[in-house]
Every structure is written in C-alpha cells, then in structure tokens.
Structure 1
C-alpha cells in the first residue's frame, strides 16, 4: 500500500458505475424504468416524465426522494419496478475481486439503491464475497447520498472512524459530505457525473477507473 493511504482501515464503495464500468450502460436501463414509472404515475409523455425525473434527482438527491416528497410514492414499489432489469451486460471481474481481496481492512458498499439489487449486481460481477456489508437506501431511512445523515448512519452502523476511511464514488457531489467528516475521497471520473460542481477541493484522488487504480496503489512502494 502506498504511504499516503496507509491510514485507511475501511474501504467504502459506491455501486453503480463505480464497481462496474459506466460503459456497461446498466444504469441506463434503470434510468429508462424511472422515466416509465413517472410517465405512468403522472400520466405524462416520456419527455415530460424525464424532465420531472431529472428535476427530482437534482433537487432531492434521488428521483425516489422527489417522488416520495411530491407524490407520496411507495419506495418499495418504485425500487422493485426500476430494478426489474436484465444484467447480461455485466461480466465477472476477476482483477477487481483480486484487488479488493488484497486491500487491508474492511470493505463496504454504500448505495442509493436497495440491498436486493446490490446483491444481484455483486453476484454478477463475481464480488459476492468481497464485502462485509451493504448500506442501502433503506438503511439510510430513505434519506440518500448526498444528505449528511446518510454518511452519519453508515459510520454508526459499522462503527467507522471517518479519519481512517476512504470512499470511492462516480458522482463527485456525493464525495463532498464524506470529505466534510474526514474521509479520504476518490472520484471515478468516467463520464457518468451529472450536475458537476466546479469546486473539486473535496476530492483527494481523481481516476478514470477503479481496478487499475487499486492495483496501482497496492503495487507502489
């Protein structure tokens, strides 16, 4: 391990577009399901449904949070609907599994999705045994990243000292609260970022992909 990261005892990873490449385009399928859900709920055309979807995402942190606040949508019904997708675009990632196994300390998944979906993705990637736990949207009491309570809840649930934790995300804005409580932050700059913040002072490392970076920090003296 490189000296700059020798203090890290807990490695925390976002799920979508972080543990698998954004080029797999899996989240596009979820995105389309969210648009369809809103279209059916509000009885609007796809263009208006997508506008509402993105407005809720930007204004509330997730589309679900906006739907709950504005339309009292049942979160379980929404999550079941949008996660009902095929995952054949994901492949087993042995190099990533090997890198995760070599990391010293605990490994966790921190996702705005739900646990059943996260477990399916991890199994598809061959990472089912790579993580101690999954902190999902229900564990956050439906208050998603980047709300500060999501990070506080994660640390409380797993007894994490933020000063000895590192968080990897593809959405830069979700790193800001992590940095505020003392975590080391890594942004996967893979093109999936939306509503990018010009301020990057809360990002410690910017990398194009996770697996090469993990092997680099493990092999550099």
Structure 2
C-alpha cells in the first residue's frame, strides 16, 4: 500500500462556493478545474441519491434498535450516544467499537439489511457519470455489497470500477485521515488527479489536504457557508457533472 503525502494546498478555484449554474464562462472555469482529474470518487448515501428519498432513514432506525438492544439503554440514551459517536468518531459504529467492543461485521450486516424500494432509477445521473473520462469508484462508510445494491436500484450498474467500504479501511471511517490513506493507497489513485463528491463536508477535509478536487453535494445551497476545504458545491449532481465534459 502506498503512503500518500499531502501536496501544497491547491489554489482557490474561480467557482468555489455555490454552484453558479450553466453559463459559458463559469463552465469553462469549472472544466479547467477538473481537467486534471482521472479518478472520480463518489460517496454513496445522500450523494448518489438525494436525502428526500429517505433510504438512510431505515439504516438510522436499525442502528437505534441495535444500540438499544445490545447496550440495554433507552431511546433517549441511544440517541445521545449515536450523536456523540458520530461527532467524535465519524460513525456510530466507530464509537461502539472503541467504547463497547462491538463486533463490526454483524452490526454492518444487520443495519444494511433494508428495502431499496424508496430508490428510483436515475438515467440522467447514469449518463452524466458515464460521460466522465477516467475511472469512477464509490467509497462509503457503509459496505461495498450495500453500495452495489444501492447502485443497482439507481440503475448505475456497470459505471464504477471499484466499491470500497469501511471494512476495506480496517473499520476506520471517514473523516479519519487513516481511512483515506488506506482506501486511496489500496486503490492506487493519484490524489492530485482525483475528485471526491460528498454530502458531509467533514469528509472532504482530508481529501482536500491530499490534493483532491472536493465537491459538496448539498440539497439546499442556502444552507451553511462553504468551509475552505470545499472547492465546489452543488444541489444537482447530474447537472454539475454534465458541466465538466
């Protein structure tokens, strides 16, 4: 596995901040910013499908039930623990492993056993991803089999060269820097020739420091201000990708 060394911070982009919509000047600047990219890294939940489809609600409910059952706590305490572990460790699972010695594999299998009925095929997104030059991969804090199932439900089959889950990072989740070192090193991608798309801006800071082009996929562009490690943000992933080619 390669050890990745962070390059100098990339310069500010002319379109950094809210997606400016289609116009020739902005599109030319955007294409120039991504011209170096040969590997496209996509998060999964609430990135390749929008939050309003509510798929992740099922996982949230299963995580809550797991914590209540295994730790023998009530709903309020389970909710408090989950918030604290997400904030402090990146995921509930990471906190459960650190503080309670939970076996990650049964946990991951249980919480990802859900219905994909809320998802609909997204031909516009499929076409936009297919048109991108280079390799496309999915990297999630879930599991690779779950990611493949989600992509199947979205009719994104065959578009991604590889799927990576938290278990591929030895159960270290995003945004821990070690997770990216492990996944990017195993994949062999060059961070200076890659871009990453995420719904959680925390998860874009380590990629930014490694030299990736970073894109925050956010449903409402009027929401929180853009942190400095986010070079682009959009509320329309398919539309944003179409502007790059």
Task: For 1:197 and 1:42, locate their aligned partners in 2 and report how far apart those are by CA, in whole Å.
Answer: 34
Give yes or no for the alignment of 1:213 onto 2:231: no
Match of 2:135 among 106, 130, 146: 106
Distance 1:30 1:51 in 2: 17
**217, 220, 227: which one pairs with 1:200?**
227
One of 50, 55, 78 as aligned partner of 2:84:
55
Displacement of 1:134 in angstroms is 0.7
Length, aligned pairs only: 214
1:42: how far off?
A: 1.6
Q: Distance in 2 between matches of 1:73 and 1:128?
A: 33
TM-score by length of 2: 0.84
User: Does the alignment pair 1:171 with 2:213?
Assistant: no
Alignment of 1:74 with 2:95, yes or no, is no
Within 2, Cα distance between the matches of 1:209 and 1:17? 12
1:186 and 2:224 correspond: no
CA distance in 1, matches of 2:155, 2:198: 20
Q: Please tell me whether the aligned partners of residues 172 and 197 of structure 1 are also in contact (alpha carbons under 8 angstroms).
A: no
Q: Single out whichever of 89-98 and 41-50 deviates more from structure 2.
A: 41-50
Report deviation, 1:81. Answer: 1.2
How far off is 1:154 after superposition? 1.9
CA contact (8 A) 1:111 1:137 kept: yes
Deviation at residue 80 of structure 1 after TM alignment: 1.2
Q: Distance in 2 between matches of 1:18 and 1:198?
A: 19
Aligned counterpart, 1:83: 112
> Structure 1 segments of 4 or more deviating over 4 A?
196-199
Report the TM-score, using the length of structure 1 for normalisation: 0.93
After superposition, residues 75-154 of structure 1 pair within 5 angstroms as 75-154=104-183
Distance 1:98 1:55 in 2: 39
The one of the two structures with greater contact order (alpha-carbon pairs below 8 A, sep at least 6) is 2
Say which SS state the counterpart of residue 104 (structure 1) adopts: coil
Q: Which runs of 5 or more structure 1 residues have no equivalent in the other structure?
A: none
RMSD: 1.6
